[in-house]
Amino acid sequence: RITVTFNINNSIPPSDDEDTQEEQKPDEQEPELTSTPNFVVEVIKDDTKQTLVLDCHYPEDEIGQEGEEESDIFTIQEVSFQPTGESDWKDTNYTLNTDSLDWALYDHLMDFLADRGVDNTFADELIELSTALEHQEYIKFLEDLKSFVKCQ
């Protein structure tokens, strides 16, 4: 069983201050705000008591870039095993940062995810879903803020 969780809070990267309004031509539109949340993939097998947990991120320099060769639009930052069925993860369980991981093993982990449907297509669809949810929550926040400020 595969479970993917994400949080839209703080998922929109900060805009560059270099692109000021003065530099922007009047007919150009503001760049669309895109939500790129960190997400966690949990892989649970019925015959084990552990859940494989992969903490994934969208690198800021990869978003919206199309290179000549196919590259992954997300990365695995951390990998750990957590007890299956427990709602709270234990900070004492060993967590491997993939910066120190052999590149071949890292590629196998990415292939492992891709074989289970967590690939670039999934990551693109997650960005679309997250962006829609973030925009919806932002509008609701503005409406709530307006109501709150008007209240005496």
45-96 pLDDT per residue, tens: 988 889 999 999 999 765 555 544 568 999 999 999 988 877 777 777 899 9
Residue 16 within a domain: no
CATH number at residue 65: 3.10.280.10
The count of structural domains within the chain is 1
What is the pLDDT at residue 19?
Answer: 52
DSSP 73: S
Determine the Cα–Cα distance for residues 49 and 83; give it in Å rounded to an integer. Answer: 6
Q: Is residue 107 part of a domain?
A: yes
Q: What is the 3-state secondary structure (H, E, C) of 4-36?
A: EEECCCCCCCCCCCCCCCCCCCCCCCCCCCCCC
27 part of a folded domain: no
Find the domain containing 42 and state its range.
Answer: 34-150
Is position 7 within any domain? no
Is 91 within a domain?
yes
